[in-house]
């Protein structure tokens, strides 16, 4: 399953989301959700315990001026990568 986080981690129940994600899933941070990838942030400490791949949408990082400030545990992808994830994971949960 593909989980997407589009809201700021301060405006959602991030620990609840983390409990839903399994090691066969993927998590994509997009829109304001990219702030969860910031190095040394509280949200990133929650995400770092996941065993599934975690991605962040590069265009949203750039739009917020956050490129270069994300954790090395998160993989930046572009919209083509996003499409690839949706093809790989047929089910999608938007958070």
Three-state DSSP at 76 gives strand
**Domain tally, the chain:** 1
pTM for the model stands at 0.94
Q: What is the pLDDT of residue 56?
A: 98
Query: How far is residue 35's CA from residue 33's CA, in Å, rounded to a whole number?
Result: 5
Three-state DSSP at 93 gives strand
Query: Which residue range forms the structural domain that includes residue 38?
Result: 2-94
Q: What is the pLDDT of residue 2?
A: 98
Q: What is the pLDDT of residue 87?
A: 96
At 5-59, the pLDDT tens digits run: 999 999 999 999 999 999 999 999 999 999 999 999 999 999 999 999 999 999 9
Q: What is the pLDDT of residue 84?
A: 97
CATH code of the domain covering residue 32: 3.40.1260.10
């Amino acid at each position: 399953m593909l989980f997407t986080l589009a809201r700021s981690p301060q405006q959602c129940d991030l620990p609840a989301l983390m409990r839903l994600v399994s090691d066969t899933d993927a998590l994509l941070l997009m829109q304001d959700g990219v702030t969860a990838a910031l190095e040394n942030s509280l949200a990133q400490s929650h995400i770092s315990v996941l065993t599934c791949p975690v991605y962040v949408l590069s265009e949203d990082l750039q739009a917020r001026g956050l490129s270069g400030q994300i954790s090395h545990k998160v993989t930046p992808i572009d919209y083509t990568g996003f499409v690839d994830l949706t093809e790989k994971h047929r089910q999608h949960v938007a958070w």
